[in-house]
Amino acid sequence: MLAAVLGTALVWAQNSTPVSLETSETLFTVLTAINICGYDQELDISDPLRAQVRSEVAKAAENTAGAQDAIGPMCLFYRQHQAPEAAHDLSHYVSLALYLGEPPKFTLKVREAELPPDADAVVGMVPLMEAFYQKIGLHAIWERHQVRYTELTQIYHVPLAKMTFDTEIFFKDALIRRIWGGNSLSIWTRWALPGRPTRATMLRITS
């Protein structure tokens, strides 16, 4: 994951620079939470920053009074809602992150009834994650590594942009406008998730 590290969005806009990469503290928080709760898929081939963030969060939890009172309920929820396959488990939480506002409140951007089924299945994680974020002081960890995330967006901008347009991102402009009513396409890159930094997964078009 740059994982729990990183939330990056690959954005294709009609009326601006063709492709841009952006970091996301919200996605960072969501993925950090599930990593702390036992999400270990592809840990051995992930960027070293994933293990570093996990270590820092574990240390913060160890040194923070009452941290387990926040982590325990969150991880219990995670275990109770795990999907049979790890890849599906991950997709639920990435989908949820797309519908959440900025920390520390992570306010839903839509009504709960309007969430897609995969995000709705784990929306109960939000208040538990908020408590975890506040108790651990996760924002400080995010800020500590943000320069590195920015560097990574610069490193992978060109190859991801080329890959995106080479495959035509699955959609034509008119189809995007007709189906989504938006003017840009957001892609959460797999190098922001567990695994190698060369894959990208399209999850949602945003206005």
Tell me the pLDDT tens digit for each residue of 126-180.
999 999 999 999 999 999 998 887 787 777 766 766 666 665 544 444 444 444 4
Contact at 8 Å (CB) between 149 and 126?
A: no
* The pLDDT value given to residue 87: 73
Whether omega before 159 lies within 30 degrees of 0, making that bond cis, reads: no
Q: How far is Cα 207 from Cα 192, in angstroms, rounded to an integer? A: 22
Angle between helices 67-80 and 25-36 (to 10 degrees): 80
Strand, helix or coil for residue 1: coil
Distance of CA 5 to the CA centre of its chain: 8
Average pLDDT for 44-51: 87
Is the pLDDT at 36 greater than 60? The verdict is yes
Contact at 8 Å (CB) between 42 and 172?
A: no
* The pLDDT value given to residue 4: 36
% of the chain with per-residue pLDDT over 90: 48
What's the pTM value of the predicted model, to 2 decimals? 0.74
Mean pLDDT over all residues of the chain? 76
Is the pLDDT at 203 greater than 60? The verdict is no
Tell me the residue type at 94.
Answer: V
* The pLDDT value given to residue 68: 96
Greater confidence (100 vs 2) lies with 100
Average pLDDT for 67-86: 94
Segment 62-75, tens digit of pLDDT: 999 999 999 999 99
Per the DSSP assignment, residues forming a β-bridge with 191 are none
Buried (b) or exposed (e) across 75-93, using 16+ Cβ within 10 A?
Answer: bebbeeebeeeeeebbbbb
What's phi and psi for 202, nearest 5 deg? Answer: -80, 130
* The pLDDT value given to residue 47: 81
Q: Which one, of 88, 83, 82, 122, lies nearest residue 106 by Cα?
A: 122
Helix (H) or strand (E) holding 60: helix 48-63
**How many C-beta atoms lie closer than 10 Å to residue 62's C-beta?**
9
Tell me the residue type at 4.
Answer: A
Angle between helices 86-98 and 25-36 (to 10 degrees): 150
